[in-house]
Amino acid sequence: MTHHESTRTTNASALDQQQHFDRQLFLFAFATMADVAQHVRMQGSPEMQGRLPEIQVRWLEAQAAVRAAIEDEAELVSIGTLLAFVIVCAGVWYLRVKEPDRERPFRTPLVPILGITTCVLMMLSLPADTWLRLFVWLALGLVIYFVYGRHHSTLRRESEQSASSDRKAAGVL
């Protein structure tokens, strides 16, 4: 084994040990949160009762994170952040076109176009499995968003109340 190969093996081993330590630390932090949640459950603290589902979700997230490869997680975070920036840039561009007279404290003419182009090019450099994960998580997030929104919509409630009062006023009910 040459010196170069030996150094590469040592560096890889040190990186594996660091990643293992990071995962253990992450797991410990969320295990502590779970212990707190159990304690709160046993004590019946009213101000914490509503947070128990949130803590349980965080625990599941921690379990998934501990089992996932850190490189995959980094790629998923990167593509998600880049997509968010593309959406923001597209929103700025859209507002410039649809509301050109809107007051703006400063103007940056090419930023939305350059931002979208740069982010999309960086996104294209990521592997195909990262794109697949992005679309799966995006679809799941949209389903949750619309299902939750449909059931908890303030506008829907107001509309139903308005329709109900209109029917009562018309003598239908």
**pLDDT tens column, 129-143:** 999 999 999 999 899
User: Which residue would you say has higher pLDDT here, 12 or 94?
Assistant: 94
Based on the domain organization, do 53 and 75 belong to the same domain?
Answer: no
Based on the domain organization, do 151 and 140 belong to the same domain?
Answer: yes
Based on the domain organization, do 49 and 93 belong to the same domain?
Answer: no
Number of domains in the chain: 3
| pLDDT of 102 strictly over 80 | yes
Q: What DSSP letter does each residue of the chain carry, written as one string? A: --HHHHHHHHHHHHHHHHHHHHHHHHHHHHHHHHHHHHHHHHHT-HHHHTTHHHHHHHHHHHHHHHHS-HHHHHHHHHHHHHHHHHHHHHHHHHHHHH-TTS--S---TTHHHHHHHHHHHHHHTS-HHHHHHHHHHHHHHHHHHHHHHHHH-HHHHHHHHHHHHHHHHHT--
> Which residue range forms the structural domain that includes residue 168?
130-173
Based on the domain organization, do 73 and 52 belong to the same domain?
Answer: no
pTM (2 decimals)?
0.57
Q: Note the pLDDT of residue 7.
A: 46
